[in-house]
Amino acid sequence: MKENLQAIREKAMDLLNNVKELKRLDEIRVEFLGKKGELTKVLRGMKNLSPEERPAIGQLANNIREAIEEKIEEVKNELMKKEQEERLKSEVIDVTMPGKKRRLGHRHPMNLVVDEIKEIFLGMGYKIAEGPEIETEYYNFEALNIPKEHPARDEQDTFYINENFMLRTATSPIQVRVMEKEKPPIRIICPGKVYRSDEVDATHSPVFHQLEGLVVDKNITFADLKGALEVFAKELFGDKVKVRFRPHFFPFTEPSAEMDISCVACGGKGCNICKGSGWIEILGCGMVHPKVLKMAGIDPDIYTGFAFGMGLERLAMSKYGVKDLRLFVENDVRFLEQF
Ligand code: DAH
């Protein structure tokens, strides 16, 4: 029995010396000291011993139990210490490590252009006006002197929601809404999204942005229009840019014109961007039609006004040399990063 006990002790110590995990430590405790443990089994066998043998073996068994318990406690403390050390080591922050560079977002080129144009016109005393993207027949067409048979009303060009409502095809309806509400002098610009049933290609999209301008006051002339728009072009494209006005037709202005700027790519010499002409068309404009003023409640015998409208994607394309407007909606960071 004595040898038996010594063997248990050795076995336990051997195991305990090699334990690496707290969990295993607990298993060992059960293996030796638990109810069905090896030492417990031996102690149960004591009843078969002679009374002379019993005290010495009992003593020995108790010593071994105490030794194993002590050893378990000791190993437990060691393991816990080690575990803590490892945790501390793994949680250490190395302040000398180089920082990670974060990829910053960029302002979208369309927003850059809109903001720049806003600044230019705000500097000339214009205010910003907005209007709904869902418009009525009246504001989108009727009040702009666009007659019933006009091709612009064609269902192939306009997204109709039902008989009465459509997605606005231009920012021009905002002019009318402002004139109905405000008395001259009026000086506004209206940026916004507009919708046309166009196929997508490098220069067309069913959703795009326009910016409308309107000035109404006494004695406003075509010279005021030319002056304001020339200042605008030079502010946006630089002092060297030249402008020219070509006669044109719009139902809501009379007379009407289109404004070209000298090509920003070649400076007017002629290249593939301006198709050899040296000029790029950037906006439509004209003197507000007396009928349009009258319908909106402004007396055309007292007041005159000018208006203009421009497509912002095209403008941004000229300004930044972008060849395909689809790039504006693809959200490719490699594109956006360049602005
Ligand atoms: N509404 C025109 C378009 O969508 C742009 C335009 C031209 C607006 C002349 C105007 C203007 O206010 O006077 O093409």
Say how many Å lie between the CA of residue 287 and the centre of ligand 1: 11
pLDDT of res. 313? 95
Q: Is 253 in the pocket of ligand 1 (CB under 6 A)?
A: yes
Residue 318: alpha-carbon gap to chain centroid: 24
pLDDT of res. 154? 76
Say how many Å lie between the CA of residue 281 and the centre of ligand 1: 13
Say how many Å lie between the CA of residue 68 and the centre of ligand 1: 96
Q: Is 260 in the pocket of ligand 1 (CB under 6 A)?
A: no
pLDDT of res. 97? 87
Extract the tokens encoding 179.
């004139």
Measured from the Cα of 212, ligand 1's closest atom is: 12
Q: Is 192 in the pocket of ligand 1 (CB under 6 A)?
A: no
State which fold the 109-336 domain adopts: BirA Bifunctional Protein; domain 2 (3.30.930)
pLDDT of res. 288? 98
Average pLDDT of adjacent 10-residue blocks, the chain of 339 residues = 85 88 87 86 81 85 88 90 89 87 87 96 97 96 91 82 93 98 97 94 94 98 98 96 97 97 91 91 97 97 98 93 92 89
Measured from the Cα of 310, ligand 1's closest atom is: 5
Name the residue ranges covered by the structural domains of the chain.
Answer: 2-90, 109-336
Q: Is 285 in the pocket of ligand 1 (CB under 6 A)?
A: yes
Residue from 211, 248, 252, 256 whose mutation best tests the ligand 1 pocket (most atoms within 8 A of CB) = 252
Buried b (16+ CB within 10 A) or exposed e, 271-307: eebbeeebbbbbbbbbbbbbebbebbebeeeebbbbb
Say how many Å lie between the CA of residue 264 and the centre of ligand 1: 22
pLDDT of res. 160? 93
User: What CA–CA distance (Å, rounded) separates 295 from 97?
Assistant: 70
